[in-house]
Structure 1
């Protein structure tokens, strides 16, 4: 029996992008509450929101109306500020042990392990945005997943992506033989959308697809609900864009506890 690993990435910065870091904070709470040890979670977050001068409640990040504070504290964030880059993200996925940025935490997974990756930010055709003008290209992500597969760093990967045109990261390139199941907030040809604007915080609190999968996990029994069932629920709930799935469907009847909990 292998271990479960989680990689969480907020690819934006700036208070107007509040929702992406709020999404990642909520996801961190979800997986820690469900038994994933902090040692098996790697987080990327610019961390300029909780104590931003525009934040009316310093040290507080919420992800939904009247939500609880989901900010985990800066010690829970492995890569902050200028260390949130595509290159560092790909290095972590490859398990590089010589990363000189952040705290150097890297993926130490093996052939029996499962990995859950969740990315939230802006995107465009074949790219995901990172802070500044850095972008992650789909071909570089795919090459890294192929490397991980060859190095037997996992048995299965569940990869959720919130971004505009996010389907284009996997559409027609992610082969089923890599044991990666990818779910995207939108098709390759449409935007994904922010939800729940807060006048109090002066920002959108979440993204529509993201809050739908997280609410589903929050309220279901992850020992019983499957990946496929979550997809169906989120597909129905997300009216602003068309949620898509790509890659290896052979394990979509696995229960969520193998990825989002322990």
Structure 2
């Protein structure tokens, strides 16, 4: 049900005001049209089935067998064949803020594609280095929701990258909301926690906030999002890596007040998203590299896998 989790994130982007033109969506399976879907044509985030995430149409840029490691890397690096459709390209530049949100099955330093191909932490490290060299981003926020997700950015070494994983080494990332009608879990716990927090912000948002270039998404302090994760509820420990991002922002971070944070950096201009899911007092996010503390925020165009 990986496609359902990605569709949940896509629905959130729409609600927060991010247009389709700034999203590259990759779905390795076709849940709405799957013969085993008890509610054909629909994808849901809740067992109440009150909101169909496909009701207003779903623009999928890469689907089924198009979702390969090669195509994912080409989207990020921009190395497409001549005549490749604009809608399948990530039109970012050296002033862009890019969000990469990946979900699927994975393990220690790898993520699977179609269960017969995988991308490694070293593969991703080389890809991000190529992106930086080619001027494909200014800042990049990498989020991965998979088992041992925090290991997938272990090999990263390119400045300007901030990374969050749903679980640490040796930990699984668990599904949430078992739907007895559909016979599957609807979403992963990490993705669900992210969506629940951002939906609450959207409920309180004003029209001017939602009509900004990236809507409310560009105005959320990252420290508040990270602080909303509860390891007991997630059954895993989210992992943060901020050393590469901190080093690149020492002389560049825009300092703004608000929400109790000091020196919160809101990164909103020219960003891109690539999307190729109990009341413990435990720290909500484990850091690697230098600690983010209560300080940073990010977001702009998207590629989703």
Q: Which runs of 4+ in 1 moved over 6 A?
A: 99-104
> How far 1:167 sits from its partner (Å)?
1.2
State the distance in 2 between where 1:138 and 1:55 align: 33
Higher Cα radius of gyration: 2
Q: Which runs of 5+ in 1 are unaligned?
A: 1-17
The residue that corresponds to 1:128 in the other structure is 111
Match of 1:147 among 111, 127, 130: 130
> How far 1:249 sits from its partner (Å)?
4.8
The residue that corresponds to 1:29 in the other structure is 11
The residue that corresponds to 1:94 in the other structure is 77
Equivalent pair of 1:186/1:244 in contact (CA under 8 Å): yes
Structure 1's 260 and 237: CA in aligned 2 closer, same or farther, altered over 3 A?
Answer: farther
Structure 1's 104 and 261: CA in aligned 2 closer, same or farther, altered over 3 A?
Answer: closer
Equivalent pair of 1:120/1:163 in contact (CA under 8 Å): yes
- Which has the larger displacement, 60-69 or 230-239? 230-239
State the distance in 1 between where 2:26 and 2:225 align: 25
Equivalent pair of 1:185/1:209 in contact (CA under 8 Å): yes
SS in structure 2 of the partner of residue 76 of structure 1: coil
TM-score, L = length of structure 2? 0.72
Counterpart check, 1:61 vs 2:14: no
State the distance in 2 between where 1:79 and 1:146 align: 23
> How far 1:33 sits from its partner (Å)?
2.5
Match of 2:179 among 198, 210, 216: 198
Deviations 1:52-100 (CA, angstroms, capped at 9, x unpaired): 2221111110122224111277760011111111111011100123189
> How far 1:261 sits from its partner (Å)?
8.1
Structure 1's 90 and 224: CA in aligned 2 closer, same or farther, altered over 3 A?
Answer: closer
Q: Which runs of 5+ in 2 are unaligned?
A: 206-215, 250-262, 269-297
> How far 1:219 sits from its partner (Å)?
1.0
Structure 1's 234 and 254: CA in aligned 2 closer, same or farther, altered over 3 A?
Answer: farther
State the distance in 2 between where 1:199 and 1:99 align: 47
State the distance in 1 between where 2:267 and 2:76 align: 21
State the distance in 2 between where 1:238 and 1:256 align: 29
Deviations 1:12-43 (CA, angstroms, capped at 9, x unpaired): xxxxxx2x211111211221232322122101
SS in structure 2 of the partner of residue 148 of structure 1: helix
Match of 2:228 among 230, 233, 246: 233
The residue that corresponds to 2:198 in the other structure is 217
Equivalent pair of 1:212/1:237 in contact (CA under 8 Å): no
- Which has the larger displacement, 120-129 or 64-73? 64-73
CA root-mean-square deviation: 2.7
State the distance in 1 between where 2:228 and 2:266 align: 14
Counterpart check, 1:179 vs 2:160: yes
State the distance in 1 between where 2:85 and 2:178 align: 32
Match of 2:101 among 102, 118, 133: 118
TM-score, L = length of structure 1? 0.83
